[in-house]
Amino acid sequence: MIRVKQALTIILKSIRPLGREQVDLSNGLDRIISFDVRAKCKLPPFDNSAMDGYALRAKDTKGASKVEPRVLQVIEDVPAGYTAKNKIRDNQAIRIMTGAAFPSGADSVVMVEFTKRVKRNKKSYPEEVEIYKETKLSENVRRAGEDVKKGQRVLSRGCILRPQELGMLAALGINRIDVAKRPRVGILATGDELVPVQGKLGKGKIRNSNSFILRAQISKCGGIPIDLGIARDKRRELRSKITTGLKKKLDLLLVLGGISVGDYDLVKDVLFELGMKMKFWRVAMRPGKPLAFGFIKGIPVFGLPGNPVSSTISFEEFVRPALLKMQGAKNLFRPRVWATLTEDLQKKKNLRYFIRAKVKIKNGKFYVSSTGAQGSGIINSLVLADGIIVAPEGLELLKQGQMISVQLLRQGYDGGVI
Amino acid sequence: MIRVKQALTIILKSIRPLGREQVDLSNGLDRIISFDVRAKCKLPPFDNSAMDGYALRAKDTKGASKVEPRVLQVIEDVPAGYTAKNKIRDNQAIRIMTGAAFPSGADSVVMVEFTKRVKRNKKSYPEEVEIYKETKLSENVRRAGEDVKKGQRVLSRGCILRPQELGMLAALGINRIDVAKRPRVGILATGDELVPVQGKLGKGKIRNSNSFILRAQISKCGGIPIDLGIARDKRRELRSKITTGLKKKLDLLLVLGGISVGDYDLVKDVLFELGMKMKFWRVAMRPGKPLAFGFIKGIPVFGLPGNPVSSTISFEEFVRPALLKMQGAKNLFRPRVWATLTEDLQKKKNLRYFIRAKVKIKNGKFYVSSTGAQGSGIINSLVLADGIIVAPEGLELLKQGQMISVQLLRQGYDGGVI
């Protein structure tokens, strides 16, 4: 039996990043980029107006006010998307729209709200405009490159593409991107007690909820789940289903159940028969102790415990970081915060506990309590969980009021505090 | 010009939830459930063993130890998925695996680690087992219903389906579920300055990054983005593209750009021509002031500002809650925390500022600073953002060291602190 930290080190040391593939930017959301993106052009690409108004020379607005307006010649009108034909000279102005290229000779823009066009007849320039406000040099001008300079690194490899990262790539004209391949992850559930979700529940049977949870967990961290079904506790069936699974170009295999010390826990035997190089078996944690990790023909294999809570937590703590490492992600772990524990919790000294927990924020501080019953069959402990208390080895009692580390589980719009 | 809070109230009051649709559980991830789920059966469905070991009567283990074992008759072996044929009587035990139905007559399970089978010959029961440890009543027994009672509400409508919620539904045998329909959201970009991402960048032109960001933002909160392309600043083209868009069974329409006070900002005119009932136009905020909201033929329409930062923030603050309300989500808003500001920030008194911000956690406390330049064209301010500082109306100076409210943007594994 090894410690959690040691198990994680062994896993991450032996997992290699997969290759990359090219996708269209429109398919890039949530993918992990596998190269440093440097700008091949400036953003914005040219000086442009930040406001609708008049481009002019600041010195020509000196002393301008509502009472004593300055009157300038309007020599041209430039909408966004177009450029001025003329250069501005003293006492001249060009009507300009937000985003329109900034005319040469000008040094600032006065907002249209502080002006009044005196004559208006586009057929015969120059016209006149009254200016009611002084401008400062460069006022309301967006300079070329003020967002991104040419050659600047705008994204680093290993970062995940959110909407705004896609926007940056789009603005730079990058329409095809190299992203990490999505790992193909096989899931084989085992056990005579399992029936499919839609199946009839005979005596002594339960529904195979684990595969559902794992499929979704795999998707949520970028993997492609490949369901290999349920294998009965028969040596031949196990061997055949694992062999078939391994042929499906898997990058990782999860085998669920059957690696405890029970007489019918054949999985470990069969894995060994198939040439499994076991890196470890059994981790000093609760839930999830009977966890196995190794390789068959170079493919990483996790033997996960059969109880839904144990398998979900084992995935969270070990498989998820492995899948993210395969994708070259910069950050392999859930966000962690320190929170005040609002109840006493007992544990076994030699094990690290992963306690499903409710998390609240009051006055900017985190408070945490367990979700209640923590048995490895209590699926509700997962449903109620906003986070996971990481209760370290060496402690037997966690005291109400003490600070404790919590992994935050909820994401985005799913109603959690985080 | 109205306040942010008022704008949001008007939007949310006038948005109606869409209908529901039925999907397979395997397509349920990230969908919002539209009914309260009550358990039609208990979980676990029957008493079962939490450990591999021997089911027995606790009183028969009294005083048992390694030195003075108690010896019991083994009358049967029961793997997981099967049920015992016999009832346990005094001084009898049944070999039982984790998850196997608990035999009648027994009251506890002793772990296999604390036993030794004396004789072993499955063909002739009874055999014998030495027990080295006392058990307590109900020890290592999982009672039927200890996870979920029959009739118990396990999920509430409006909650989002994470992996574990899918697991709960699977365990209960619920394979088809009612979820909120995904809103169909049209995106029409406008402006002579825009070229598609893969297009050539002519003089005075920029790439249409906005539509990319919005498509991804829509996907991330459950909507289906429908790209209506780019309309030039021509009255006829605008009218035709909006009319075509509205025919695509949209639940919401986003029109980007062209609703400021510029001479070429035709969008507002055209929306009015098409019968837009404007609820408001212009919100006291930065970025994003020229925001319009109304209805055309009952379809909600947002006129979003044309600058990428403004449109992204307007989406975050107004469109996202609207889309989540359409889906009946319990929680419409990003998680918010209080953080210590690590720099002075200036603002206009009458506007609410949404300042793109870097967020750090140190010793369990949040610290926040702006991402730097906050111009509405600075896409990098979005790329660098872990969150958004909400700087309220009425303040002109935010002081270093003060507490400030921050919306957290990062999700899941994307490398943020949260």
A2 at interface of B, judged by CB pairs closer than 8 A: no
Q: Give pLDDT, residue A335.
A: 82
Query: Torsion angle, CA of A371/A374/A375/A381, rounded to 10 degrees?
Result: 30
Interface with chain B: mutation pick from A379, A405, A410, highest number of B CBs within 10 Å = A379
Do the Cβ atoms of A414 and B159 come within 8 Å?
yes
Interface of B with A in 78-117 (CB under 8 A): 79-83, 95, 97-101, 112-113
For A77, the closest chain B residue by CA position comes to B263
Q: Which residues of B touch A412 (CB under 8 A)?
A: 220-221, 411-412
B397 at interface of A, judged by CB pairs closer than 8 A: no
As given in the structure block, the two tokens for residue A234 are 């028969």
Alpha carbons A258 and B97: distance in angstroms, whole number: 10
Q: Which residues of B touch A154 (CB under 8 A)?
A: 380, 383
Beta-sheet pairing, B252-256 with B299-304: parallel
Min Cα separation B18/chain A (Å): 18
Alpha carbons A213 and A306: distance in angstroms, whole number: 12
A137 at interface of B, judged by CB pairs closer than 8 A: no
Alpha carbons B222 and B184: distance in angstroms, whole number: 10
Distances (CA, A) of A149 to A38, A49, A146, B66, B254: 9, 18, 7, 75, 31
Distances (CA, A) of B246 to A206, A279, B252, B297: 49, 59, 9, 9
The domains located in chain B, with CATH, are: 4-17+182-326 (3.40.980.10), 20-44+146-180 (3.90.105.10), 48-142 (2.170.190.11), 336-408 (2.40.340.10)
A34 at interface of B, judged by CB pairs closer than 8 A: no
pLDDT 10s digits, A301-323: 999 999 999 999 999 999 999 99
Alpha carbons A316 and A334: distance in angstroms, whole number: 9
Output the tens digit of pLDDT for each of chain A's 418 residues.
999 999 999 999 999 999 999 999 999 999 999 999 999 999 999 999 999 999 999 999 999 999 999 999 999 999 889 999 999 999 999 999 989 999 999 999 999 999 999 876 666 788 999 999 999 999 999 999 999 999 999 999 999 999 999 999 999 999 999 999 999 999 999 999 999 998 899 999 999 999 999 999 999 999 999 999 999 989 999 999 999 999 999 999 999 997 766 566 789 889 999 999 999 999 999 999 899 999 999 999 999 999 999 999 999 999 999 999 999 999 898 888 889 999 999 999 999 999 999 998 887 778 999 999 999 999 999 999 999 999 999 999 999 999 999 998 875 433 333 3
pLDDT 10s digits, B119-172: 766 667 889 999 999 999 999 999 999 999 999 999 999 999 999 999 999 999
- Report the SS3 class of residue A392: coil
Q: Give pLDDT, residue A360.
A: 87
Helix, strand, coil content of chain A in percent (nearest 5): 20, 35, 45
Beta strands in B191-326 (DSSP E): 194-195, 206-207, 224-231, 252-256, 277-281, 285-286, 292-296, 299-304
Do the Cβ atoms of B213 and A163 come within 8 Å?
yes
**Low-confidence stretches of chain B (pLDDT beneath 70):** 120-123, 260-264, 411-418
B197 at interface of A, judged by CB pairs closer than 8 A: yes
Give the closest residue to A408 by CA, choosing from A345, A338, A346.
A338
Q: Using the 8-state DSSP alphabet, how is residue B26 labeled? A: G
Q: Give pLDDT, residue B409.
A: 87
Query: Which burial class, exposed, middle or buried, applies to A360 when counting CB atoms under 10 A from its CB (0-12, 13-18, 19+)?
Result: middle
Q: Give pLDDT, residue B309.
A: 97
Exposed e or buried b for every residue in B221-242, given b needs 16+ CB within 10 A? Answer: bbbebbbbebbbbeeeebbebb
A413 at interface of B, judged by CB pairs closer than 8 A: yes
Question: What string of DSSP letters covers B61-123?
Answer: GTT--SSS-EEEEEEEEE-TT---SS---TTEEEEE-TTPBPPTT--EEEEGGGEEES---TT
Give the closest residue to B220 by CA, choosing from A113, A257, A163.
A163
User: What's the complex ipTM?
Assistant: 0.94
For A160, the closest chain B residue by CA position comes to B414
Q: Give pLDDT, residue B417.
A: 34
Q: Give pLDDT, residue B361.
A: 81
Do the Cβ atoms of A207 and B172 come within 8 Å?
yes
Do the Cβ atoms of B260 and A203 come within 8 Å?
no
Q: Using the 8-state DSSP alphabet, how is residue A350 labeled? A: T
Do the Cβ atoms of A414 and B193 come within 8 Å?
no
Query: Which burial class, exposed, middle or buried, applies to A19 when counting CB atoms under 10 A from its CB (0-12, 13-18, 19+)?
Result: exposed
Q: Give pLDDT, residue A125.
A: 82
